[in-house]
Amino acid sequence: MEKPADIQFHIHELLSRRWSPRAFADQPVEREKIQSLLEAARWASSSFNEQPWAFIMATTDHPAEHQKLLSCLREGNQIWARKAPLLMLTVAKIHFDHNGQVNRHAYHDVGLAVGNLVVQATAMDLAIHQMAGILPDNIRECYSLPAGYEAVTGIAIGYQGDSKNLPDSLSERELAPRSRKSLREFVFSGSWGHYPEFL
């Protein structure tokens, strides 16, 4: 199922095609595609080139590991994410290597890496859904996160499945139209709330 963005201005097709389905097919993600996803993330930009991201992964090929990672998601996400053949957790290193100071850009840079990964996934016709609903304390315990590292998000990746296989409430959300704020609500110039005349 395609849900292209209702764009106001021209953007790249990969960006307009990207959305966040919850229905996944019973089909593994090929090793080469997983490698490409991670390579795309690897080449994201970051403050001082610190690359403060880490990824914890599990596939359905290893059920115990998949279940372990699934247990680090909030219950509402577990309902549908259990079907995703590839689950990931993103982790941020919150101090700079070069001076030991707090890297207040670490979460931003993890987001840039995941942004690259998302575009690469879309280019390879993979469905990807990012989740804020994670259990950071579970993650720290399950995976022995070192001091100075913080869990950020969860990600479910796979091939898109049939929304009819979701519970009714989730199926409705799957089929609902996509929407976004208008540019006027978040783009300013000169003073806060003033929409740029050049747009």
Tens digits of residue pLDDT in 72-121: 999 999 999 999 999 999 999 999 999 999 999 999 999 999 999 999 99
Tens digits of residue pLDDT in 130-149: 999 999 999 999 999 999 99
- Domain tally for the chain? 1
Q: Model's pTM, two decimal places?
A: 0.93
CA distance 35 to 30: 9
| Mean pLDDT value across residues 38-55 | 98
For residues 56 and 89, the answer to whether their CB atoms sit within 8 Å is yes
Residue 59 belongs to domain with CATH number: 3.40.109.10
Quickly list H helices, 124-180: 136-143, 168-175
Residue 76 falls inside a structural domain: yes
Structural domain range at position 143 = 21-173
Residue 181 falls inside a structural domain: no
| Mean pLDDT value across residues 138-164 | 96
90-to-131, 154, 193 alpha-carbon distances in Å: 10, 6, 33
Ranges 3-17, 45-59, 160-174, 180-194: which has the least confidence = 160-174
Let me know the angle formed at the C-alpha of 195 by 189 and 198, rounded to the nearest 5 degrees: 75
**What is residue 173's predicted lDDT score, i.e. its pLDDT?**
83
